[in-house]
Each structure stands twice: as C-alpha cells, then as structure tokens.
Chains A and B, each alone.
Chain A
Amino acid sequence: MHYVIIGGCAAGLNAIEGIRKIDQSGEITLISKEKYPPYARCLITNYLIGTHSEKSLYLRDNSFYKKNNVNLILEKEVKKILPDEKKVYLSDKEKISYDKILIATGSSPKKLGIKGEEKEGISVFRTIDDVKKILQRIEKSKKVLVFGGGLIGLKAGYSLKKKGLEVEIIIKSPQILSQVVDKKSAKILSNWLNENGIKIRTGLEPVEILGNKEMEEVLFDNGEKIKAQIGIVGKGVSPNLSVIENTDIKTHWGIIVDDYLRTSNDDIFSAGDVTETKDLITGNPTITALWLSAQEQGKTAGINMAGGKKKYPGSIGANAAEFFGLPFISFGKTRETENVEIKEICDEKNYIYKRFVLKNNILIGAVFIGDVKSAGLYMSLIRSKSNLENYKNILGKEWFNYGKVRELLEKDEGFRESISPEGNNIFFT
C-alpha cells in the first residue's frame, strides 16, 4: 500500500500519525512545496519576534520521519492528480503512483487586488519565507500598516510592535476580528491593543500603494495618504485547489468530503484548509481554515485512508491568542444575535469579559477575554450539544466546573470515545 500526502503542514503531518495507528508497514510519501519539513505555522510570529529559531518551529525532528518510514519530498509541487492512472505529476515532471492519496494543500493568503501591490515591502504573513522577507526590511523601516483585522493581521501587527515598529491596523469593517467575535468583545480587545500602542483604524480601505520600486506611501479611499515602509496583507485565505483541476473531484468552496473525509473519489481524501466540511453547530458547509481543524481532520483522514472507520464530527471555529499578556479565546457562533440568549460577565476596566451565546438552551458560542480558565469545558459543551437550561445562569462563574455537567458530557459518544481506552469513564461511583 502506498499512501501519498500532498502538503506538509498540520493536516499532512497528522495524517502520517493517523495512518500509522492502523497500518505500520505501508509506504508513506509526503510531498511539500516548501523547503522546510512540517513546521508550526502559527509560530512564525515568534520567529519574527526572535524568541524562536527556524529549526525550533519544526513540529517533529528527523527521527520521527525515519521511525515512521516516511519518504519526505520537499520543495516540489504536485502539479496534477491523475485519478484514472492513480498517479501524481510533480513540478519536475516526475510521476509518483499511489494507492490512497490525501490532499492537504492548504490555502493561500488573499491579495489586496490594488495597484502597486507588487512593490517591495508588501507581504503576506503565512510562511517562514514571508517572515524572512519582512525581517530583511525591518531595519530600514519605521512604520507598518496591517491591512485586515483578522487574527493573522493582529498577530503580525503584535509581533512587529514587539520589534519596535510603529503599527497601524487598517480595517474595512467597523470592528477587528469581524469573522470571529461580536462587537463588544472586539471593542474590549481593540481598547487593549490601543493602550499597548497599536493604532486601529476602521472603515478604511487602501486603493493604491505608492512609491518607486519600494513601498513608500499608501493612498486610501478617503483620499488620505499614510507613509509606511512595510505593509502586511491579512485579508483571509482561499483554498489551494489547483491540483484537482481537470479531475472530477467535487468542489464547492473547497473540496467536498463525506463524514470520513473521503472525496467523491474513493481513493482520494482531503483534510485541512482546502477541505470543506460540515459546521459542527449548524451542519452547514464550512471551511474553518484553523490549526485545530486541520490537525483533527488530518488524523481522521489518515485513519480512514488506512482502512479505519473514524467519523469526523464537524468543524468548530476556535481561536486562542495572547496579546501583551492578555489571553483571548473564542469559539463557535459568537456573533449571532437572532433567537439567541446572551449571558455575560463583564469587567471592562480590567479587560475581563466572558460571553456565552445560547440557542434553545444549547451553547453555540463563547468568548473569553482576560480570564480564560476552563474555556475548553465550554467547547465540549458546544460539541456535545448539551441542554444547559439548569446551568445557564452560572456559566463562566468560578464555581462552574466539569463536575457540574459531567453527566451531560458523558452522554456524548464522541466525548466518551476520546477520553478513555475502554470508552468508559475513568471515574467510578
């Protein structure tokens, strides 16, 4: 059996582990277009700040690939999949045949789509190489403009501020993290970032990058010009679908898969940012493009490729970050306002805010700022779709804990499966 994995990041790496859970002898080949082995993409901020070296971002050391008998092919891109021949075509015209294949090609940052974007100084923020490019410019730069107020934009802005640069975040929408949190949470986080020296401007859009070869100034839609030497584009990502062009694999926003992460072709699986899965809460199609989803999907797909039968429960949008010492966690549907009940604990002065969104007594979203203790408990309440009618008034309180909702959680099959080897609880009464 020859397993081929296209893409060397979270999903691809976890697929190796998934496959090896079931099949210890089959051949595994992982092909990545980057020159580095799978690394912690989210830690490029730390690499930029300087707390981490390039090597320390690698998720596994060489012995892992050796031990698991993985043939690692780096710096080569898969151009095409030929499902009829069961082969992939590489950029150097080499052909590799497969029995089962995983598409984990990830996603690419969206562009601004404005004049002058190709100028030196404008960069996206996704790979080690992006950071290397930014680091080269840091010395001759004073000011950074970040386009986009998503988590990537905020993290890029945060790390450049830590590097001593002046940072201004430019957002088209009226709030930061508009895809992730509600207005109130966004306001509290904005205030905190402001207080720590990051300027945030909303309702503003760049129309042209000015300068000769290098970026010097940015022209905005209100006619304003701002001088800056570095521009970071954080406008979201789109799935890398080019490998399956000319195949009949079904796509919508991303590659469509069943509950076992199998595509419309029986031998082809898909995981990570390129995959369109079911939203765990609504059941609607979604691409979360998040680390947690990619890892879970990768592992699940790996197990199923090797003949196991593991169901993927669906994706949940979940983010965790820390800015200037203030922790922040959010997951699920935090922005919903219709037919929902909101429970909150708020101490705005001290930057503490907890928000719980319930629909028909079922938790569908939560935000934690400042005090994030036991946040995961609430995530499992969302996952298990527990009825919280009797508990909704104590959500977020210090004395609300696992013990209070143990029975509710243990009813959930997925929860039971994940905790103990025998599928039963580790507690005995």
Chain B
Amino acid sequence: MKRIFVDIEKCMACKTCEIVCAVKHSKSCNLFGAIKEKPNPSSRIKVIEAKVIPIPLQCRHCVEPLCEQACISGAIKIEEEFVSVDKEKCVHCYSCVMACPYGVIDIQKEENIAIKCDLCLDEEIPPCVKSCPTKSLFYGELKDFKKQREKREEKCTM
C-alpha cells in the first residue's frame, strides 16, 4: 500500500501543501473559487512548528488506528492500510478527535463531519505531494522511499 512519507529535513514551511489540499477539497476545486467559498474549504494537512523544524503533518493512516477504535458509529474504518471516514455514518461525536495521537482529525462545524487526509485516491499522486517544491512529501511504498533516501545520502557523501 502506498503512503505519504515525510522527509522532515526538507520542509521549508512554505505551506503550498495546505493550500492545494484545501483547494482539492473545495467545491470549485480552483484557488479563486475556493477562497470565496463559505465555509472556507479547510486543509487536511497542516505544517506544524516542531521544536526547531517545521513538519507537514496529516493523517498517518496508522496500522492500529485509535480513531477507528474510538469511533462510536462505525464511520471510521481501516482497510488495506487506508483509514477512511464514511460521511454518511459520521455523527460528529468528537470521539476520533479524542483519540487521534497526532491531533490531525477535525470536525468541520458547518458540515458536521470529521475531516482528515483521504489520500486523494482519485488522483494518481496526492496534490500535496505533487506540489511540494522541496519534495519533502513522498508518495509510494516504504521501500521506494527508503531507496530515495539512500540515493540522497550517497550524493551527499560524494
């Protein structure tokens, strides 16, 4: 299963990922439309300020998701390493917010639904990854990500 990996040495906190994520999840799906929408479309990825470096953070699709265990309506499910929220079943009870160790699930008040990274499965590569100018975000299998990291280290030591 492909995942989004984060190379945290590379993030410059430009927040491009936040913008493209919000646009992707807006009704109009373009920037000009999105900024005028009410409610404002919200981003599922947030660049958080860690101790010294920024980290782009979104749902990590945990293998044993606590959000799924806390969900009282059966809306949150994990299948093939992908954690999804069923809009029809979500009752915005805040149980997932209570459980998510990363703090990356929010309740969108206007629509009364739990929102988090849905990996944009309709796209070949999630827009946040595609648009990241420093390639801090990577989409693929763990082994491919490791390979890319190794390559980089080789270059650095050369």
* Chain A interface (Cβ < 8 Å from any Cβ of B): 14, 40-43, 46, 51-52, 56, 59-60, 291-292, 295-296, 299, 318-322, 325, 327-329, 331, 372-377, 379-380, 399, 401-404, 406, 409, 415, 417-422, 426-429
Contacts and interface: CB of A to CB of B under 8 A. Distances in A.
B131 interface: no
A427 B73 CA distance: 31
Nearest to A331: B98
B74 A60 contact: yes
Given A296-B69, A327-B107, A403 B94 contact: no
A305 B137 CA distance: 40
A46 B91 contact: yes
Nearest to A401: B48
Contacts of B7: 427-428
B9 interface: yes
A334 B145 CA distance: 42
Interface in B101-158: 101-107, 109, 142, 145, 149
A292 B4 CA distance: 27
* Smallest CB-CB A-B distances: 4 pairs: A403-B50, A374-B103, A380-B101, A376-B100
Contact of A320 (B49, B62, B93, B142): B93
Chain B interface helix/strand/loop/mixed: loop
A204 B67 CA distance: 38
Contact of B92 (A60, A322, A329, A428): A322
A292 B89 contact: no
Nearest to A52: B91
Contact of B63 (A43, A327, A421): A421
A403 B55 contact: yes
A51 B88 CA distance: 11
Contact of B72 (A40, A296, A422): A40
B21 interface: no
30 contacts: A40-B73, A41-B72, A60-B74, A291-B70, A292-B70, A292-B95, A319-B98, A320-B97, A327-B107, A373-B97, A373-B106, A374-B97, A375-B94, A376-B96, A377-B100, A380-B101, A401-B49, A402-B48, A403-B53, A404-B50, A406-B50, A409-B101, A415-B101, A417-B64, A418-B64, A419-B63, A426-B5, A426-B60, A428-B7, A428-B149
A380 B6 CA distance: 21
B20 interface: no
Interface in B36-93: 48-51, 53-55, 57, 60, 62-67, 69-70, 72-74, 81, 88-89, 91-93
Given A376-B99, A426-B3, A320 B94 contact: yes
Given A320-B93, A321-B94, A329-B98, A291 B142 contact: no
Contacts of B99: 292, 318, 376, 379
Contacts of B72: 40-43, 291
B31 interface: no
Contacts of A417: 64
Contacts of A56: 88-89
Contacts of B8: 427-429
Contact of A376 (B66, B89, B142): B66
B12 to A, nearest CB: 15
A5 B16 CA distance: 50
B98 A318 contact: yes
Contact of B103 (A318, A322, A377): A377
A406 B89 CA distance: 32
Contacts of B92: 322
Contacts of A376: 66-67, 96-103, 105
B103 A402 contact: yes
A329 B97 contact: yes
Nearest to A291: B72
Kindly name the residue among A14, A41, A329, A419 whose own CB sees the greatest number of chain B CB atoms within 10 A: A419
Nearest to A58: B74
Nearest to B4: A426
Contacts of B63: 418-421
Most-contacted residue by chain B among A295, A376, A418, A426 (CB, 10 A)? A376
A134 B130 CA distance: 54
Contacts of A43: 72-73, 91
Contacts of A329: 94, 97-98
A428 B6 contact: yes
A296 B68 CA distance: 10
